[in-house]
Amino acid sequence: MFGAARRAAGLPEARLHAFRGALSFGGGDEPSFVADVTFRSSEGVSEDAWIAGELRIERASWTDAPGGASARAMHGSATLFVSSSSFRLVDGILEGERARVRFSAHGAVDAPSGRRTVDAATLVIDSARTGPFLDAASAILGRALPVPPGVPRDAGLTGDISFDADAGARAEPRRRP
């Protein structure tokens, strides 16, 4: 849709080659998440790509729930592809001293009203602590996700969380000994 309009207007293709900045969610009185990010494009990418390369994530951190232990900053990377019609975030990993998660997502860019933009997303928790994991998720989602009654904040956690636009959401958390 956007590509046709760009060509009709005689505008040139645009491609991001490098970027340095910050990614943030929330703020003020709400839980917040912030990370320094850098992007570097890959060689030999599809001509359709506006963005194609490695996204590096450094010093990812978030606000803790009252009474929670301060979370250590995490770091990681993902392969990012964006064209005029779709996006893919693959081979994502975020890890720190106490946690390791893997993630991916894909979907549409500039979807018409009523059409979904995220077709599927997956988060695999290889290792985490329940309290800090829920604090980070709360910061990204912008709403509190409390630790379930009877579960210690420092309880180990593994599992999968996924979303598929056709099949819906699925969560399979497992308490780690």
- Low-confidence stretches of the chain (pLDDT beneath 50): 1
Q: What is the pLDDT of residue 68?
A: 55
Residue 146 lies in a domain: yes
Residue 153 lies in a domain: yes
Q: What is the pLDDT of residue 2?
A: 53
Residue 92 lies in a domain: yes
Tally the domains of the chain.
Answer: 1
Q: What is the pLDDT of residue 174?
A: 81
Residue 7 lies in a domain: no
Give the structural domain span for 20: 16-176
Residue 56 lies in a domain: yes
Q: What is the pLDDT of residue 52?
A: 93
Residue 34 lies in a domain: yes
Instruction: Report the 3 state secondary structure along the chain.
Output: CHHHHHHHCCCCCCCCCEEEEEEEEECCCCCEEEEEEEEEECCCCCCCEEEEEEEEEEEEEECCCCCCCCCCCEEEEEEEEEECCEEEEEEEEEECCCCEEEEEEEEECCCCCCCCCEEEEEEEEEEEEHHHHHHHHHHHHCCCCCCCCCCCCCCEEEEEEEEECCCEEEEEEEEEC
Q: What is the pLDDT of residue 107?
A: 92
Residue 142 lies in a domain: yes
Q: What is the pLDDT of residue 5?
A: 62
Residue 4 lies in a domain: no
In Å, what is the CA distance from 65 to each residue of 31, 72, 142, 153?
8, 14, 13, 10
Q: What is the pLDDT of residue 97?
A: 83
Nearest to 3 by CA among 43, 49, 40, 44: 49
Alpha-carbon gap, residue 110 to 80, rounded angstroms:
17
Q: What is the pLDDT of residue 1?
A: 44
